[in-house]
Amino acid sequence: MKSLSILLIDDDKIERLKFLKVCKKINIHNAIWEAPNGAIALDILQKKNFTFDLIISDINMPKMDGFEFLKSLKTYQESKLIPVVMMSTSENIEDLERCYKLGISGYFSKPLKYKEYLSKVTSLLEYWGKANLA
């Protein structure tokens, strides 16, 4: 499995820490950049001289939510092909449909139990770590 360069977007610091904890637990050493909202994530994307292998974003965030971020991301030639996986506590089918219409590569609802979260994130990272998109 290759190492990934990941942009993690979530306004909840605990959620970001939980994601990092899972990476450490399963011994995956990805380069992970963090952003608390879509606006800061876009700023990171514009300032970096490299592209990310994967973007993982929450939907509900202040300043710029996941939907607005996706719309903006897809307008930039350099970043519109980066796979984006949306995650949310919402299991609203309309949110899911809206995300896919905006061009996401995957979606998962954040489970409340850590063991389930660990399993989902592990599967996600294993999948994208094996994907050969280059």
DSSP letter string over 39-84? Answer: HHHHHHHHH-SS--SEEEEES--SSS-HHHHHHHHTT-TTTTTS-E
For 75-115, what is each residue's pLDDT tens digit? 887 788 899 999 988 778 898 899 999 999 999 888 889 99
Residue % of the chain over a pLDDT of 70? 96
Name the H helices within 74-112: 93-101
Give CB contacts under 8 A, 24+ apart, made by 60-65. 60/11, 60/88, 60/89, 60/90, 61/9, 61/10, 61/11, 61/36, 61/37, 62/11, 62/37, 63/37, 63/38, 63/39, 64/37, 64/38, 64/39, 65/37, 65/38
Q: Quick one: pLDDT at residue 90?
A: 77
Is the model's pLDDT at 9 over the cut of 90? yes
Q: Domains along the chain? A: 5-128 (3.40.50.2300)
**Range of lowest pLDDT (59-68, 84-93, 115-124):** 84-93
Q: Quick one: pLDDT at residue 121?
A: 93
Question: How does residue 1 score in pLDDT terms, banded at 50, 70 and 90?
Answer: low
Q: Quick one: pLDDT at residue 38?
A: 95
For 29-44, what is each residue's pLDDT tens digit? 778 999 999 999 999 9
Q: Quick one: pLDDT at residue 85?
A: 96
